[in-house]
Amino acid sequence: MNESGRSKVTRRGFLQGAAAGAVALPYAITSDALGAAGRPPASDRIVMGGIGIGGRGSHDLRWLLGDKRVQFVAVCDVRKQRRDRAKSTIDKKYRNTDCKLYRDMRELLSQRGDIDAMLNATGDRWHAMAAILAMKAGKDVYSEKPGTMTIAEGRAVVNTAKRYGRIFQSGMQRLSQPNFIFPTELSRRGKFGEIHTIRAHQWPRVTDVTKNDWLAAQPEPKKEELDWDLWLGPVPKRPYNAKYLGGCGAWGIYWDLAAGIAGWGSHTFAQCQMGAGLEYTSPVEYVYPGNSSGAGMVTRFANGVKMILEFTGWRGSCGVKYEGTEGWASVADGYSMADFSSPAYRGEYKKLMATYQAEARRPLDHMQDFLTCVKSRRQTIADPEVMHRSMSTCHAVNICLALKRDLKWDPEKEEFIGDADANRMRSRAMRAPWRL
C-alpha cells in the first residue's frame, strides 16, 4: 500500500503473478473490470478481506457487500462453519467462487498484497492485535468495538496507525447515527448551556467485571473445525467448552476474555465524551461505587464535568444523557428522536443536521464514513485517538472496580497517580507468540 491508500504492485510481483496465471488471462477487458452497470472500475474499488465473520461480523459483511465501491475477496475465521457461510454469501453476491478462505489471519495478511482494507470483527480479545497486524501489513482497518482490552493496547493501536499511515475506524457506530448525532451536536454547540453532567448506560449482563472462573473442560473439536488455540489468541490458556462460543453474552462476562464494562461503555462513553467536547481525553477521577458492576459510579473530568454510569433511565440500550445549566437531552437505541427538557429543541433538527453535514462533511453512516476516508485519507469520526481515549475510560473503570478503591488518572502521561497496582493493570500479559 502506498500513502494514497492504493495497493502498490512491484514489477517483480507483477511478473510473478502474470507468470503464475498466464493460462487464465482474459483475451479482452471485461465489462466488470470497466465498471459496468454503475459499478466503479476495478482500479477504483476498495479490495477487502475480513477477520472473524460471525455474529456482528456477518452484519458488517452484508453492509459492505451492498456497496459498489467494495470488492470482498477473502475471509479468515477460526471456525470452519463461519468461514464457509461467509464464502457462500460472498460468492453468491459476485456470482463466482473466488472468495479465498483462511484459518490463520497471519496467512491472509502475508499472502494478500492485493487487499486494501480489512473488516476486523473478532471477539474483544483479538480486536487490537488483529488491527495492529493488519495495519502493519499495509491495510486500513474497520475494527469492531470494544477496540482494546487494555490501555496499553489502545496506545499501540494509535501509534501503529500513525506510523504506517493507515485509516482506522472503531465500530462505535452511534457516532454516525442521526438520532444520536442531533443531541450530541446540540450539546457540543452549547444549546443546553454549560454541560455539568453526562450519563452513560451500562450493560446489565456484566454484574462483576472481575468474574474469571472456568467452565468445565470438554473435548476440543478438530483444529480444522475450530482452532481453539487461535480462538483464545493472546489471552491465558483455558480448557475448551462449547458454551464460550455463544457470542459476547457468553464469553463477554469473563475478565480474561473480554473488556469488562466496555461492551456498551465503548459506545456510551464515546458518545458522552463527544457530546461534552471531551473526546480526546478521559476522566481524571474514578470513585469506587461499592459494587462490582459499576452501577452509580461517578467519574470526573479535569474541567469538572461528571460522567455517571447507570443501568436504568432509558427506554432502549446504549443510552446517553447530557445535562446542562439550560436544558437536557436523553437518547438511546430505538429513539427516532431524543427526549428533551423542552419540545422546542425538536424544531432545530433539520437546520442543525444540515449544518453538521456541511461542516463535518461526513455521511450519516459509520461504514460509509470509513470507506470515504479510505479514499480521501482523512481521519474517521471514530479515529484511533477517539477510540483509545474512550476505551481508556472503560479500562480505568474496570481497574477501579477490580481494586475496589478510588483512582486518579493523568490523561497526558496516561498513568494512575500514586497507585502502582493500578498502573500495572494498564496492560495484561500476552500468551506467546503474541505481543504488542
Residue 6 lies in a domain: no
| Grid cell listed for 344 | 422546542
Question: pLDDT tens-digit profile of 110-129?
Answer: 999 999 999 999 999 999 99
Helices (H), 165-279: 178-188, 228-232, 248-251, 262-275
Residue 377 lies in a domain: no
Say whether pTM exceeds 0.75. yes
Q: What is the mean pLDDT of the chain?
A: 91
Contact between residue 150 and residue 127 where contact means Cβ atoms under 8 Å apart: no
CA dist., res. 321 & res. 98, Å (int): 47
Mean pLDDT of 348-357: 97
In this prediction, residue 247 carries a pLDDT of 84
Residue 199 lies in a domain: yes
- Of 125, 142, 173, the domain-final residue: 173
Share of the chain above pLDDT 70, in %: 90
Which candidate, 293, 267, 277, places its Cα nearest to that of 382? 267
Give the CATH number, domain containing residue 218: 3.30.360
Residue 373 lies in a domain: no
pLDDT at 26 over 60: no
Residue 109 lies in a domain: yes
Q: Does residue 153 share a domain with residue 210?
A: no
Give the CATH number, domain containing residue 128: 3.40.50.720
* Rg (the chain; Cα; Å): 22
Residue 1 lies in a domain: no
Where b means 16+ CB within 10 Å and e means fewer, 279-311 reads bebbbbbbbbbeebbbbebbbbbeeebbbbbbe
CA dist., res. 161 & res. 156, Å (int): 9
3-state secondary structure of 70: strand
Q: Does residue 329 share a domain with residue 260?
A: yes
Is the alpha carbon torsion for 157, 163, 169, 172 positive or negative?
positive
pLDDT at 218 over 80: yes
Residue 207 lies in a domain: yes
Mean pLDDT of 232-242: 97
Q: Does residue 156 share a domain with residue 41?
A: yes
Question: pLDDT tens-digit profile of 274-327?
Answer: 999 999 999 999 999 999 999 999 999 999 999 999 999 999 999 999 999 999
3-state secondary structure of 244: helix
In this prediction, residue 248 carries a pLDDT of 84
Count of domains in the chain? Answer: 2
Domain that holds residue 344: 177-363+384-436
Q: Does residue 290 share a domain with residue 197?
A: yes
- Of 140, 173, 206, the domain-final residue: 173
Q: Does residue 113 share a domain with residue 207?
A: no
Helices (H), 118-261: 124-136, 151-164, 178-188, 228-232, 248-251
Contact between residue 179 and residue 336 where contact means Cβ atoms under 8 Å apart: yes
Question: pLDDT tens-digit profile of 198-215?
Answer: 999 998 888 899 999 999
Q: Does residue 429 share a domain with residue 321?
A: yes
Q: Does residue 249 share a domain with residue 127?
A: no
Q: Does residue 85 share a domain with residue 100?
A: yes
First-residue to last-residue Cα distance in the chain? 22
- Of 149, 173, 197, the domain-final residue: 173
Contact between residue 74 and residue 49 where contact means Cβ atoms under 8 Å apart: yes
Residue 146 lies in a domain: yes
Question: pLDDT tens-digit profile of 63-85?
Answer: 999 999 999 999 999 999 999 99
